[in-house]
Amino acid sequence: MSARSTKASNALARLKERSGNAGYSMTITGAGHFYLSETPGGPPLCPAMELQDFVAFVNAQGPQKAKRVSKFDTEFEKQLVKKTEK
C-alpha cells in the first residue's frame, strides 16, 4: 500500500468512525484518482479526485467532532475579549 492510499484510507476510517456507517468505501482508479461510495461497488458520491481533494472531501462528510478546548484556551479567549473592549 502506498503512502497516497494510506492517507486516503485514514480519512475514510475517520469518516466511518464519525458517521457510524461502516459501509463507506473508497475506490482508486487506474489513473490514481479516488472516489467515495456509500457501499462497496455502489454509485460514487463524488467525481474521481486527486488525493488532497479527496481527503478534504471525505473530511467534510458526516458529523464533525467538536474541537477540544482546554480551560487555558477559555481563559486566554476571555483575556482577548477584555483587551479588545478597552
Between 5 and 84, residue with greater pLDDT: 5
Residue-wise burial string across 20-50, b where 16 or more C-beta atoms lie within 10 A, e elsewhere: eeeebbbebeeeeebbbbeeeeeeeeeeebe
Average pLDDT across the chain, whole number: 86
Q: Where are the domains of the chain?
A: 3-85
pLDDT of residue 26: 92
pLDDT of residue 5: 76
Average pLDDT over residues 51-69: 86
Residue 56 has pLDDT above 90, yes or no: yes
